[in-house]
Amino acid sequence: MNSAIETLAPYAFTALRQRKEALQAQGIELLDFGVGDPQDPTPAFIRQALTAALTPESRYPTSAGLPELRQAIAGWFGRRFGVTLDPDVHVLPANGSKEALFNLGLALLDDPRRGPQAVGVPELAYQVYADSARLHHAEVIPLPLDTDWLPDLNALTPDVLGRLRLLWLNYPNNPTGAVAPPSYYREVLALAERWDFYVASDEAYSELWYDSPPPSLLQTGLERAIVINTLSKRSNMTAYRSGLIAGDAQVLATLRNVRPRMGVATPEFIQQAARAAWEDEAHVTAQRLRYAERRQLFIEVLARKELVVDASAATFYLWVRVPERVAGRSSREFAEWLLERGIVVLPGEFLGARGAGHVRLALVPPLETCQRAVEILDSVL
Ligand SMILES: Cc1ncc(COP(=O)(O)O)c(C=O)c1O
């Protein structure tokens, strides 16, 4: 067996699922705000684009994807961020963003000529970045977060910077909902240029915002920048497995070379649905309004009960501070206390020690479930 697999932390969501199942087996009804899997329907026009693209014969798709999908993605980057991408040079489709996040390591790490490689991973982060680094035999450097929930670049010593091959960012952020300003992206890319590393920006939540649209790393530059995005959250398409990789021409060329060997080509009917989704903004605007309505309900009750919501300027997550008066100090204890009252949340410490003072609520259930949860919170907090 691959000994690197033994070094991986337990998968956070397995523990949560087991605890939920145990309570449900006792007949307890749970309102589930634990997992960030959108529950609203995939818009009908996207489903229709998929069925219209089903052909009687079935042929292998290519991992480079249909030119019209790459064009649709480049068009979206142009309209949304004012970034000009060549669809044949700067863009590749992915089978959802998770495989792209994981497999980026194949292009950048494990290079027998370079010796030990280090990957910078924020101390509180989606688990895939560190897992991928470890399975590509790289050293994981945990990046401490500053008070704005951004990796503190001043904490990077010359020794670390000298070994760094890749640095991960994820804004808007899961779990905190924090957003990175353009100045931060400029600072990181300048550092990458100076110390010869790449910056990968997971922008899965870029379209789920409330007051103003968050920036993309690619607005700062394409060189050394790799952006990964997805239709999962923007268009309620988690089951479709459709995302994108965009940015640095050399990295994309390497991925174009290696990905056909890996079995990650997206079926063409999914690609046609994806094309329809990237070309439409109306459904995304409507979805944002749904999340805003749910968010308002929670913000009101939490404020009334004097619970502090940190960051949470974007994404469908609320990052709620553990109230000491209720259930001790740890996010695990508070999550358990809420679970016993029928509300599932994710303990922040499942995503890293820095999350120990917070729980994460994913506002994905329908409005009426949110209303019931808010009533419960109103009575128990
Ligand atoms: C930060 C972040 N990136 C990526 C993903 C994966 O999304 P996809 O469905 O595109 O694989 C998730 C899923 O929850 C996520 O939270």
Task: Give the three-state DSSP class for 259.
Answer: helix
- How far is the centre of ligand 1, averaged over its atoms, from the C-alpha of 304 (Å)? 32
* The pLDDT of residue 14: 81
8 Å CB contact between 93 and 242: yes
**How far from 285 is each of 107, 220, 282, 330, 352, CA to CA, in Å?**
35, 25, 5, 36, 32
> Does domain 3-41+282-380 match CATH 1.10.287.620?
no
Rounded to whole angstroms, the Cα distance separating 101 from 135 reads: 13
Regions of the chain where pLDDT drops below 70: 327-328
Q: Is 247 in the pocket of ligand 1 (CB under 6 A)?
A: no
Which residue of 98, 127, 244, 364 sits with most ligand 1 atoms within 8 Å of its CB, as the best mutation to test the pocket?
98
Question: Which residue owns the Cα nearest ligand 1 atom 5?
Answer: 98
Rounded to whole angstroms, the Cα distance separating 100 from 200 reads: 11
Rounded to whole angstroms, the Cα distance separating 9 from 321 reads: 24
Is 56-278 the same fold as 3-41+282-380? Answer: no
Q: Is 202 in the pocket of ligand 1 (CB under 6 A)?
A: yes
Rounded to whole angstroms, the Cα distance separating 69 from 54 reads: 16
Q: Is 151 in the pocket of ligand 1 (CB under 6 A)?
A: no
Q: Domain 56-278: give its CATH code.
A: 3.40.640.10
* The pLDDT of residue 35: 93
Question: Which residue owns the Cα nearest ligand 1 atom 13?
Answer: 36
* Ligand 1 atom with least separation from CA of 202: 3
Question: Which residue owns the Cα nearest ligand 1 atom 14?
Answer: 36
- How far is the centre of ligand 1, averaged over its atoms, from the C-alpha of 193 (Å)? 27
- How far is the centre of ligand 1, averaged over its atoms, from the C-alpha of 374 (Å)? 26
Q: Is 94 in the pocket of ligand 1 (CB under 6 A)?
A: no
Question: Which residue owns the Cα nearest ligand 1 atom 16?
Answer: 174
* Ligand 1 atom with least separation from CA of 35: 14
- How far is the centre of ligand 1, averaged over its atoms, from the C-alpha of 36 (Å)? 8
Which residue of 16, 33, 95, 97 sits with most ligand 1 atoms within 8 Å of its CB, as the best mutation to test the pocket?
97
- Contacts of the segment 333-342: beta carbons below 8 A, 24+ positions apart: 334/359, 335/359, 336/19, 339/19, 339/20, 339/23, 339/30, 341/376, 341/380, 342/28, 342/29, 342/30, 342/31, 342/376
Q: Is 242 in the pocket of ligand 1 (CB under 6 A)?
A: no
Domain segments of the chain: what residues?
A: 3-41+282-380, 56-278
Rounded to whole angstroms, the Cα distance separating 59 from 71 reads: 22
* The pLDDT of residue 327: 61
| The amino acid at 89 | V
Burial class (CB in 10 A: 0-12, 13-18, 19+), 218: buried
